[in-house]
Amino acid sequence: MRYLPLNGADRAQMLATIGVKSVDDLFVDVPASARLTAPVNLPRYAGEMEVEAQIRAMAAKNLSPSRVPFFVGAGAYRHHVPSTVDHIIQRSEFLTSYTPYQPEIAQGTLQVLFEFQTQVARLTGMPVANASLYDGSTAAAEGVLMAQRITKRNKAVMSGGLHPHYTHTVETLAHAVGMETEALTPAVDAEAEVLKHIDKDTACVVVQTPNVFGTATDLTKIAAAAQAAGALLIVVVTEVMSLGLLKSPGEMGADIVAVEGQSIGVPLSFGGPYVGLFAAKEKYLRQMPGRLCGETVDADGERGFVLTLSTREQHIRRDKATSNICTNSGLCALAFSIHMSLLGQEGLKRVAKINYAKAHALKDQLAVIAGVDVLTPRFFNEFTVKLPKSAAEVVEALASKGILGGVPFTRLHKDEAFDNHLIIAVTETVSDTDMSAFVAALKEVL
Amino acid sequence: MRYLPLNGADRAQMLATIGVKSVDDLFVDVPASARLTAPVNLPRYAGEMEVEAQIRAMAAKNLSPSRVPFFVGAGAYRHHVPSTVDHIIQRSEFLTSYTPYQPEIAQGTLQVLFEFQTQVARLTGMPVANASLYDGSTAAAEGVLMAQRITKRNKAVMSGGLHPHYTHTVETLAHAVGMETEALTPAVDAEAEVLKHIDKDTACVVVQTPNVFGTATDLTKIAAAAQAAGALLIVVVTEVMSLGLLKSPGEMGADIVAVEGQSIGVPLSFGGPYVGLFAAKEKYLRQMPGRLCGETVDADGERGFVLTLSTREQHIRRDKATSNICTNSGLCALAFSIHMSLLGQEGLKRVAKINYAKAHALKDQLAVIAGVDVLTPRFFNEFTVKLPKSAAEVVEALASKGILGGVPFTRLHKDEAFDNHLIIAVTETVSDTDMSAFVAALKEVL
Amino acid sequence: QYERLIFEKKDYTRTGVDFADIDIMPSDLGDLVRGDDLGLPGLAEPEAMRHYVRLSQKNHAIDLALYPLGSCTMKHNPRLNEKMARLEGIGDIHPLQPASTVQGALELMDTLAHWLKTLTGMPAVALSPKAGAHGELCGLLAIKAAHEAKGQGHRRTVLVPSSAHGTNPATAAFVGYSVREIAQTADGRVDLADLKSKITDDVAAIMLTNPNTCGLFERDIVDIAKLIHDAGAYFYCDGANFNAIVGRVRPGDLGVDAMHINLHKTFSTPHGGGGPGAGPVVLSEALAAYAPTPWVVSTGNGYALEEFGEEASAANFGRMCAFHGQMGMYVRALTYMLSHGSDGLRQVAEDAVLNANYIKASLQDIMSVPFPDGPCMHEALFDDKWLEGTQVTTLDFAKAMIDEGFHPMTMYFPLVVHGAMLIEPTETESKAELDRFIDTLRALAATALATKNNADEVARFKNAPHLAPTRRLDETKAARQPKLTYG
Amino acid sequence: QYERLIFEKKDYTRTGVDFADIDIMPSDLGDLVRGDDLGLPGLAEPEAMRHYVRLSQKNHAIDLALYPLGSCTMKHNPRLNEKMARLEGIGDIHPLQPASTVQGALELMDTLAHWLKTLTGMPAVALSPKAGAHGELCGLLAIKAAHEAKGQGHRRTVLVPSSAHGTNPATAAFVGYSVREIAQTADGRVDLADLKSKITDDVAAIMLTNPNTCGLFERDIVDIAKLIHDAGAYFYCDGANFNAIVGRVRPGDLGVDAMHINLHKTFSTPHGGGGPGAGPVVLSEALAAYAPTPWVVSTGNGYALEEFGEEASAANFGRMCAFHGQMGMYVRALTYMLSHGSDGLRQVAEDAVLNANYIKASLQDIMSVPFPDGPCMHEALFDDKWLEGTQVTTLDFAKAMIDEGFHPMTMYFPLVVHGAMLIEPTETESKAELDRFIDTLRALAATALATKNNADEVARFKNAPHLAPTRRLDETKAARQPKLTYG
């Protein structure tokens, strides 16, 4: 077996050194009733060719977005990632290293994390950021728990513009720790509504911009009002590319920012792994969950980086930790950081403008189709239309024509009132031809 | 432009340091008549997305062997290459390094070349090997010129089993240096015929096993007879995988061995780059063309490797060099060496047997089809059949059914006598299903 | 060796990505449009390549040498796995495409689930947890939901052995349980007597790692399971060390109710400097109904994704994250499983255990072993007793290993062993590499012991590493004056 | 740091590749079957990965730092090129598939040819040569064929400047020409007077590099071409330095008849430790008919490959290799060309020349320049005059650069300059990296000069490198006692 370097002669020598007769003697502590005497009922080992054929056969049953006009978003986006990114993350020294517990031989990973944290802080307009969380949704949930720790209040209010998966994820975690949640009714232009639901128990309000319907909202006044009421403002961003064009959460007064970073550097990969960006005001630094990388000096006084403030973490604090998180999303954070450093603000702003322009071009083409009602008032690269029939059926009909035409809102949240709502994303990867094909096909299926 | 780090400010500062006003001033030595004042008439720069789309569009117009039953060989073979191989050769330190002129910071490349030479020597059964040549055909031609240098004779006799491209390549080079060549008439079992054509001017006979029709030949007697007549035996191998099953050229008495190494580690890539393996008897060492890597010691007495015997080479000897070769096929040699070190003799022997078994299984299935005449008497993984109609037409008809069914001999050598000859290769990548599809389709088109 | 931070140049005019000029102004966004200066530098592609390649060479990696991090499991990462994860139709598909367009992806998840269930002997699996700790959370939430459904909401205590991973108590506390520690016997296992004395009727579950963090198999595991079940509680098994027994022992046969599987540990998805992980949780019949949404269902003529859990199981405890988990890790893990097969996976466990015992046997005459009797499983545990009388600590010894080209073992964990040194070689080490490691450690240990008679030589250890990209780093300063971003 | 050779273990039982068991015996092969022991070791995949990753870290590479090898041109290798070369339908197609199944591949070759012809202003191109030297051979064989076709077979002399690449005289001699050297002027160009005196009626061609190997543009190039043409000979241009002028000068406008293009130099295909190269040759109208087989033809409704050259041109001089050239390099080069476009390629030349002149301007006060007047092109040439009075040689200085983290420049070439140091930065270096290089060289040069007054310090240079994976290697021993294989 190609991954196992020992051969029979090695094993015999090693057993002799250990002083046992067979490898079975090393499993003596297993209760006899639980010892499997033969391999379980699964196929035997296979060569690369056979394995590759099996996986390829499954891949071939999927409709690849690389081959068709593609308008699916709603929390995960198809963007162009420079080939350099994937090349670098596959370097042995990045791919096959572990958490940087020995900083002297992990400065590669650590400097990248320090740069990543700085990029995230600047992108979100916040002073501090951590070394990444699992994804945007768990970052949002961790933000809510952090708000509880900070405010000692016990309720989270979530806007009707929050991605329903995020709402459900926050509910699951918040309820697990005994917090109350109030999820407001989904609405296209929903963020300001949270203010009406703040009371003295409200630890935080969670708003999203652009929200799940695509609506971009200036949160400046919401931030001020929430904070005046003693609640924290948690801003969720599921399309990080929007920060190249839209005002940052920090500028608008956010206390905590939870971002899905997938759009920069990370492949769609059917939903994961992604990378959660997490940033906060400096005063909340020690309440942040997850890993932090900090600058320090070595014995010669030279700059170096280490994981720090681990006294917040589970492996030191055990049942007193700020969170139970152990891993971050290191490799995705690396991918994000490389892509971000290639883009720079110049590239980011430019690609963001292209997203904006393409999405608005498609919106203009759809708006004139009879029966199609564009609902989103202001948006970046995604908007919602109300169709004259079930969005789910339309999407299936489009798929059968080889077009991946968006996300029916009911895919995320079951509610008949939204049966005809379709969320449409348009990124720089969409060509004019793709748009024409979409418009033509949509006309046919409506 | 993403590959150009200088920006306008940099350029201005640098021009100031140089003391000129504009970059045009650096091109003053170009005659005015030849100065282009504007870009030539070609498209302007393009982003990764656009370029990738253009290349993908071309790729999509080709019928990929990965998707269809595939039986094409005749000097280049489709084999399974472990994914590790391509991963390692893309490592920056291998991919983006140059010829190891500074051995102290090129020990990676140099040790690999030393190991490569040892692998080639052992595989071919010869005592010495070089660090690779462009491909098998140019290696064969260099072997002929080397024979001229050694024997001081001026004629090369090439068997009718030699791949016609090799014959033509040898002719071109041999004629360029003023050698005579005698290419014998193509024949399925042709190697021994060369002995009849040796005279006192014959520097070498060039034979191939398995030859272009697939025939494997024991060259022991041919070697002895050629050498008795004062000529060298040059053995060409175009399917290096065969050396896992068949007696090596060295065992059979070869003086010089020229091998196409593509089958081990190198993708088909429409014909190149490939890797020429070149080995010889030790006494001919200093007459070998191309780069050689040798073991030595450093100032501390530790083992190290260097390029050596460069006094044979063009950059030292100029017009007295043994060849004009400058580059080798370094990256392909690396790929070969990695794949070979993964296989080891155990893996090589096993995959060779699988090739043999599959090819013979297909032969048995074809032999019973009316009108199909199997011509090759003994073979490894490739054999020739005579069809009742034009092989070129049959291949086209098969291609239109999505089967890549072999190489008509007339693709290589125009001769009506061979119009119906089809060369069929079967490697470990061919499945039983592929074979059945081929047999069924062949029956239909005959 | 100094590698500049990308921010130090303060040049924000460059970019390493080419896009067409665009002059559309998003006028309808008004004030929402961001100002010009984001403070984000761009690097031309050659500059970026160098920055990251240079940085990478400052890392140790499993591809360079043994990485004997006990309880962290660093084994070979096959590149076939990486290739499969990047296939068109795998790496590029969107989680919200219509199910009709992702039948292969759902089949892949279903196949992975089948392998995990078969290997563990458990009837159900929740795939979506994004890491081991996330899996612990999933398991405890399922247990909590089950208790609540049965009117046992008063059960608010979780039993945790003192040797447990920090994530165990952290997770239990996180979901509102109080943690009760169970003592350990002199031979490194759960103290059954202590356990019995601590099982009260408010106990919701025990969280137990098996093989445990001392690298030992819990001999009484079946009895422990029975005690727990008899008390109306559930048995959560921390599956971090499943790689020690895969193919030889099925946790379902031991009485486990829930166990997360760190795909990166047992099934070799890459660690990538600390993640991403993936922590599917296998569940017993008793807990299966409480698994989180979403899950894959076979519909007879294909697969569907049950996103809301209303029809099949309204008992689900909710959603753990957006979308449906770490597909990129699933494909790598499945590729690894298919490559090894049932026979190969069994061999994995055997070779992992063999390698660990070989290290233990080869070092125990010079380094002290806290639990010398009987075999260990996949990792060999040493303590610092043998260093008594020297000034060399476990930390010093570990840092000195760096100068020898090896990554240190896990230090000071498990907490129950003084100055613990936990060595896990894994099955992908050759005997030659193990011998090189053993020889190096023996020589280094001899040197450490010799410092007893030569105080000057202590400095070699105290100041180690000497040959790494940096000298020993000041972690106290980093924590006292946190500097998490540049500028 | 010692990395064992794979052969040292003498264990031939292992393999890192899994194939099904096979028990078929090739009985019909009889004696032809090989014996059991080939002496070829196999490595399990983890062992192989480590072996090569460790070895790789002993290499310098363009991805790590400047690689200023004058006349070798090490520029950034975009990874997009690598990705494109591996596409299904590119990397996996067979050279002998029916033309109907490789229309895209033929289109790609035709497109590459169009770009090469347009950039050089030449009407024809032979794609198949596999490297620069192979291209030289192609060019000279076309020239030879042309002369023979015109009854000028008596022309047996090729003129070559003394500064030429070694491949030029080697190639000329190889095809049976005698080589006549042309002198160089004090300002580093061809001596026109000497040239005129050496043009006799047996001259077949001149081989000239332009920009030349001193990094200078041959100002009289148009006159030289005219002299050569008037004498009935052809002008072969060594295109190794085309990267200096691409987009700004078309060789066709200078009177060139044949020029090879090193795709790796000008169009950034990777060098890979010494190859593979690719050396397409552009040809003037006068030589086009003699180009080697095969070539791509446009048939009106697609492309075909003319393999035998019988119909279109019976004048072809033959075939240079099996199949039709370095497709893997074509796709990389074309990807690079499409990325840059006509404007970007012009910028490439400008930045390459700017960078070289910046280095020259920044170092010429401390290191001596043999041709100080006027700008250089893409490379800056220094000699060792400035080291006079020290014991430090060009070699010593170069080896000392290694300890500073830089690859040395090309040394002792061109031969016409004493102790030559030829520095080519290329266009893909940033100003920051150039400044780092300049600062390092200035400091090192000052140290070298200071050895005049301190003989002890000479040792630092004589014994350099000190910090490389090996110390200075004994090349004489290697050549005297050649050991080319293990054991």
Shared domain for C192 and C274, answered yes or no, is: yes
Say yes or no to pLDDT of B152 above 70.
Answer: yes
> Which residues of chain C are under the pLDDT cut of 50?
none
Question: What are the angstrom distances between the C-alpha of C272 and each of C241, D47, D188?
Answer: 19, 20, 53
Shared domain for D169 and D253, answered yes or no, is: yes
pLDDT class of D276 with cuts at 50, 70, 90: very high
Chains that touch A (3 or more CB pairs under 8 A): B, C, D
Shared domain for B403 and B356, answered yes or no, is: yes
CATH of the domain at C441: 3.90.1150.10
- Tens of pLDDT along D96-112? 999 999 999 999 999 99
SS (H, E, C) C271-295: CCCCCCCCCCEEECHHHHCCCCECE
Residue D486 belongs to a domain:
no
Nearest to A338 among C48, C118, C347 (CB): C48
Shared domain for B160 and B274, answered yes or no, is: yes
Residue C20 belongs to a domain:
no
pLDDT at B326: 82
Structural domain that includes position D199: 80-336
Q: Is D338 on the interface with C (CB under 8 A)?
A: no
Shared domain for C386 and C294, answered yes or no, is: no
CATH of the domain at B282: 3.40.640.10
Q: Is C193 on the interface with D (CB under 8 A)?
A: no
Nearest to D102 among B17, B62, B94 (CB): B62
- The mean pLDDT value of chain D amounts to 95
The span from the CA of C142 to the CA of C291, in Å, is 6
Q: Which of A339, A361, A391 lies at the terminal end of a domain, its last residue?
A: A339
Q: 3-state DSSP call for residue A26?
A: helix
Residue D405 belongs to a domain:
yes
pLDDT at D11: 86
Q: Is D21 on the interface with C (CB under 8 A)?
A: no
pLDDT at D313: 61
Q: Which of C336, C369, C391 lies at the terminal end of a domain, its last residue?
A: C336
Shared domain for D289 and D384, answered yes or no, is: no
Residue C454 belongs to a domain:
yes
CB atoms within 10 A of CB D61: 29
Q: Which of C321, C336, C351 lies at the terminal end of a domain, its last residue?
A: C336
The span from the CA of D320 to the CA of D326, in Å, is 12
- Tens of pLDDT along D205-262? 999 999 999 999 999 999 999 999 999 999 999 999 999 999 999 999 999 999 999 9
Residue D43 belongs to a domain:
no
Residue A2 belongs to a domain:
no
Question: What are the angstrom distances between the C-alpha of D367 and each of B36, C448, D413, D432?
Answer: 34, 51, 16, 21
Residue A301 token pair:
């006084």
Q: Are C68 and C437 in contact (CB under 8 A)?
A: yes
pLDDT class of B280 with cuts at 50, 70, 90: very high
Q: Is D487 on the interface with B (CB under 8 A)?
A: yes
**Among residues of chain A, what percentage have pLDDT more than 90?**
95
Shared domain for B293 and B437, answered yes or no, is: no
Nearest to B83 among C16, C17, C79 (CB): C79
Shared domain for C356 and C219, answered yes or no, is: no
Shared domain for A74 and A159, answered yes or no, is: no
The span from the CA of D265 to the CA of D279, in Å, is 10
Shared domain for A263 and A302, answered yes or no, is: yes
Q: Which of C320, C336, C352 lies at the terminal end of a domain, its last residue?
A: C336
pLDDT at D311: 58
Decide if C49 and B92 are in contact by the 8 Å CB cutoff: yes
Residue C63 belongs to a domain:
no
Lowest mean pLDDT across A348-357, A403-412, D20-29, D93-102: D20-29
pLDDT at C27: 78
Shared domain for B386 and B256, answered yes or no, is: no
Shared domain for A363 and A383, answered yes or no, is: yes
Nearest CA in chain A to C27: A378
pLDDT at C9: 84
- CB pairs A-B closer than 8 Å: 23
Shared domain for C398 and C262, answered yes or no, is: no
- CB pairs B-C closer than 8 Å: 40
Question: What are the angstrom distances between the C-alpha of B37 and each of A403, B52, D256?
Answer: 46, 30, 20
The span from the CA of A399 to the CA of A167, in Å, is 28
Shared domain for D320 and D362, answered yes or no, is: no
Decide if C56 and A88 are in contact by the 8 Å CB cutoff: yes
SS (H, E, C) A219-252: CHHHHHHHHHCCCEEEEEECCHHHHHCECCHHHH
Residue A189 belongs to a domain:
yes
Chain A residues inside the 8 Å CB shell of D16: 2
Lowest mean pLDDT across B298-307, C339-348, C474-483, D446-455: D446-455
Structural domain that includes position A231: 83-339
Q: Is C50 on the interface with D (CB under 8 A)?
A: yes
Q: Are B290 and B314 in contact (CB under 8 A)?
A: no
The span from the CA of B227 to the CA of C29, in Å, is 87
Q: Is D20 on the interface with A (CB under 8 A)?
A: yes
- CB pairs A-D closer than 8 Å: 40
> Is the sign of the CA dihedral C89, C93, C98, C102 positive or negative?
positive
**Among residues of chain B, what percentage have pLDDT more than 90?**
95
Quote the minimal CA–CA distance from C318 to chain D in Å: 41
Shared domain for B327 and B414, answered yes or no, is: no
Decide if B80 and A2 are in contact by the 8 Å CB cutoff: no
The span from the CA of B300 to the CA of D463, in Å, is 10
Chain C residues inside the 8 Å CB shell of B45: 18
Say yes or no to pLDDT of D312 above 60.
Answer: no
Residue from C8, C14, C38 to probe the interface with A (highest A Cβ count within 10 Å) = C38
pLDDT class of A207 with cuts at 50, 70, 90: very high
Say yes or no to pLDDT of B318 above 80.
Answer: no
User: Which residues have CB under 8 Å from D422's CB, separation 6+?
Assistant: D69, D70, D71, D213, D215, D379, D380, D381, D382, D409, D410, D411, D413, D414
pLDDT class of B358 with cuts at 50, 70, 90: very high
pLDDT class of D456 with cuts at 50, 70, 90: confident
Q: Which of B339, B367, B385 lies at the terminal end of a domain, its last residue?
A: B339
Quote the minimal CA–CA distance from D471 to chain B in Å: 5
Residue from D10, D15, D18, D76 to probe the interface with A (highest A Cβ count within 10 Å) = D18
- The whole-number average pLDDT for the span A157-177 is 97
Q: Which of A339, A374, A403 lies at the terminal end of a domain, its last residue?
A: A339
Residue A174 belongs to a domain:
yes
pLDDT at C312: 54
Residue C37 belongs to a domain:
no
pLDDT at C457: 85
- The whole-number average pLDDT for the span D342-359 is 98
Question: Among residues B179, B168, B312, which one has the least CA distance to residue D176?
Answer: B179
Residue B40 belongs to a domain:
no
Shared domain for C216 and C359, answered yes or no, is: no
Shared domain for D328 and D385, answered yes or no, is: no
Q: Is C78 on the interface with D (CB under 8 A)?
A: yes
Shared domain for D277 and D361, answered yes or no, is: no
Shared domain for A244 and A153, answered yes or no, is: yes
Q: Is B2 on the interface with A (CB under 8 A)?
A: yes
Q: Is C82 on the interface with D (CB under 8 A)?
A: no
Decide if A82 and D13 are in contact by the 8 Å CB cutoff: no
Nearest CA in chain B to C12: B7
Q: 3-state DSSP call for residue A407?
A: strand
Residue A185 belongs to a domain:
yes
Residue A54 belongs to a domain:
no
Residue from D50, D66, D80, D343 to probe the interface with C (highest C Cβ count within 10 Å) = D50
- Tens of pLDDT along B383-423? 999 999 999 999 999 999 999 999 999 999 999 999 999 99
pLDDT at D21: 78
Q: Is C78 on the interface with B (CB under 8 A)?
A: yes
Q: Is B82 on the interface with A (CB under 8 A)?
A: yes
Decide if D46 and A5 are in contact by the 8 Å CB cutoff: yes
Shared domain for C368 and C284, answered yes or no, is: no
CATH of the domain at D197: 3.40.640.10
Residue D139 belongs to a domain:
yes
- Tens of pLDDT along A37-89? 999 999 999 999 999 999 999 999 999 999 999 999 999 999 999 999 999 99
Number of domains in chain B: 2
Chain C residues inside the 8 Å CB shell of B4: 44
Shared domain for A361 and A313, answered yes or no, is: no
Decide if C17 and B48 are in contact by the 8 Å CB cutoff: yes
Question: Among residues C170, C280, C215, which one has the least CA distance to residue C69?
Answer: C215
- The whole-number average pLDDT for the span B267-278 is 98
Shared domain for B364 and B431, answered yes or no, is: yes
CATH of the domain at A421: 3.90.1150.10
- The whole-number average pLDDT for the span B261-267 is 98
Quote the minimal CA–CA distance from C49 to chain D in Å: 6
Q: What is the DSSP letter of C213?
A: T
pLDDT class of B380 with cuts at 50, 70, 90: very high
**Half-sphere exposure (CA, 13 Å, Cβ side) for B440?**
10
Nearest CA in chain C to D59: C57
φ/ψ bin of A325: left (φ > 0), alpha (ψ from -120 to 50), beta (otherwise): beta
Residue B32 belongs to a domain:
no
Shared domain for A294 and A366, answered yes or no, is: no
Nearest CA in chain B to D144: B176
Q: Please report which residue ranges of D14-92 form alpha helices under DSSP H.
A: 45-56, 79-85
Residue from B15, B21, B58, B431 to probe the interface with D (highest D Cβ count within 10 Å) = B58
β-sheet with B232-237: strand ranges across? B128-129, B276-280, B256-260, B232-237, B202-208, B155-158, B180-183
Residue A18 belongs to a domain:
no
- Tens of pLDDT along A358-411? 999 999 999 999 999 999 999 999 999 999 999 999 999 999 999 999 999 999
Number of domains in chain D: 2
Shared domain for D229 and D104, answered yes or no, is: yes
- Tens of pLDDT along D379-390? 999 999 999 999
ipTM: 0.97
Decide if A428 and B83 are in contact by the 8 Å CB cutoff: no
